[in-house]
Amino acid sequence: MRNQGQRLVRGTDVARAAGVSVATVSLVLNDRRNVVLSERTRDRVREAARRLGYLPNRVAQSLIQGRTRTVGVLLPSLASSFVARIADGIETAAAAAGLGLLLANSRHDPESEDRQLGILLGQRVEGVVLVAGEGTVSTLGKRLERLQQSATPFVVVDDETHGHRGDCVVSDDRQGMDLAVAHLASLGHRRIAHLGAGSITSSALARLDGYRAAMARLRLRVDRDWIEGDAFRSADPAASLMRLLRARRPPTAVVAANDRHLAEALPTLRAAGIGVPGDLSLVGYANYDFASYLDLTSVEQDPEVIGAKAFGQLLSRITDGPSKPARIRVPVRLIVRSSTQAAFFRS
């Protein structure tokens, strides 16, 4: 539309070219099997459509069919590769189901997220995948309410704290922390500390929770000064890590909620003469590509699957309607590299 100059080909044009009516064009091109059309007409129409490069106007189709074959994806930013890969997973699944993707970006701003949501709803998307993020997560409830009122199916990704209002898909952070802690314990570590993500997202909280649960399951005590880098003192991961090492009973291993914090703290560790894994074992989280270059043992997530599951759940809501909210946790796996090592000689 708004094609300066040559106007786009319409069904009418094809009809005229084929010497039939628009109705027939529609019948032929949509392969309506219940009506019987002569082969000759079918061919003539198809030929004319091909020759003119006719593409049925999906806007008009949407209007009359009452469905847009489009879902909305509302995310905080594509700058995060985790989020981008989730979007990739959603797109792939949606394309396979014949649905298009309307992408909107809140730029971590609740007001913007609200405005974007309005646009998506105005476009009459058939459903919305809402990827939570720092900045918007605390007021997410409002937007979910709005979605509910509009009776538009939706799925929340990367936040389960608001999950009671509908479906959500998250990475299994508790499992990840359990794998990390169990791995260290199996290497003989007993004094395992946690370097938090410095965030209030449900992921960060679940990782902290998962750390505590794993330690409890393995009957390992957690000293009060073994947890650092919560939402309020995350500014400097290196400083946080060094604080951990000054604990009354210094840890022999640290599980971090994020590879990045570890990577940033590494030079400080080196400067302090603390060898990894000789003096300290480290497990990261997210398995960013630099984890392999830095030889960091890390928990790998699967954002593409998260996206695919989110779309799958959304699709079943669109076709089957609402029912009991689902909470889907996508499994993670531990990638063992050389930042972790047995702690025999320390106990």
Partner DNA sequence: GTGAAAGCGCTAACAT
Partner DNA sequence: ATGTTAGCGCTTTCAC
Q: Applying CB under 8 A, does 128 fall inside the site for a second copy?
A: no
53 binds, among a second copy, DNA, none (CB under 5 to 8 A by kind): a second copy
Considering only 294, 315, 332, 334, the residue that binds a second copy (CB under 8 A) is 294
Q: Applying CB under 7 A, does 23 fall inside the site for DNA?
A: yes
Which is nearer to a second copy, 8 or 342 (by Cβ)? 8
Question: Is residue 192 a contact partner of residue 253, using CB atoms and an 8 Å limit?
Answer: yes
Question: Is residue 289 a contact partner of residue 333, using CB atoms and an 8 Å limit?
Answer: no
81 binds, among DNA, a second copy, none (CB under 5 to 8 A by kind): a second copy
40-69 footprint of DNA as x/- string (CB under 7 A): xx------------x-xx--xx-xxxx---
Provide, rounded to whole angstroms, the least separation between the CB of residue 96 and DNA.
Answer: 21
- Give the start-end residues of each E strand in the chain: 70-75, 100-105, 128-131, 154-157, 167-171, 192-195, 227-228, 253-256, 281-286, 297-300, 327-330, 333-335
Which is nearer to a second copy, 101 or 170 (by Cβ)? 101
Considering only 22, 26, 97, 105, the residue that binds a second copy (CB under 8 A) is 105
Question: Is residue 325 a contact partner of residue 165, using CB atoms and an 8 Å limit?
Answer: yes
Considering only 12, 123, 139, 186, the residue that binds a second copy (CB under 8 A) is 123
> What are the backbone angles phi and psi of residue 234, rounded to the nearest 5°?
-105, -5
224-263 footprint of a second copy as x/- string (CB under 8 A): ------------------------------------x--x
Question: 225 by DSSP, 3-state: which?
Answer: helix
- The CA-based angle 196-202-205, given to 5 degrees, is 35
Which is nearer to a second copy, 84 or 220 (by Cβ)? 84
> What are the backbone angles phi and psi of residue 112, rounded to the nearest 5°?
-65, -40
Which is nearer to DNA, 16 or 243 (by Cβ)? 16
Q: Applying CB under 8 A, does 5 fall inside the site for a second copy?
A: yes
- Among all chains, which residue has been given the structure tokens 């993707």? 101
Q: What CA–CA distance (Å, rounded) separates 203 from 307? A: 16
Question: Is residue 173 a contact partner of residue 212, using CB atoms and an 8 Å limit?
Answer: no
Cα→Cα distances 5→55, 58, 310, Å: 18, 21, 42
Burial 132-155 (b: 16+ CB within 10 A, else e): bbebbbeebeebbeebeeeebbbb
| Contact set with DNA (CB under 7 A) | 7, 10-12, 19-27, 29-30, 32, 35-38, 40-41, 54, 56-57, 60-61, 63-66
| Contact set with a second copy (CB under 8 A) | 1-6, 8, 53, 55-60, 62-63, 65-68, 70, 73, 77-79, 81, 84-85, 87-88, 91-92, 95, 100-105, 107, 116, 118-119, 121-124, 126, 149-152, 260, 263-264, 266, 288-290, 293-294, 304, 318, 321-322
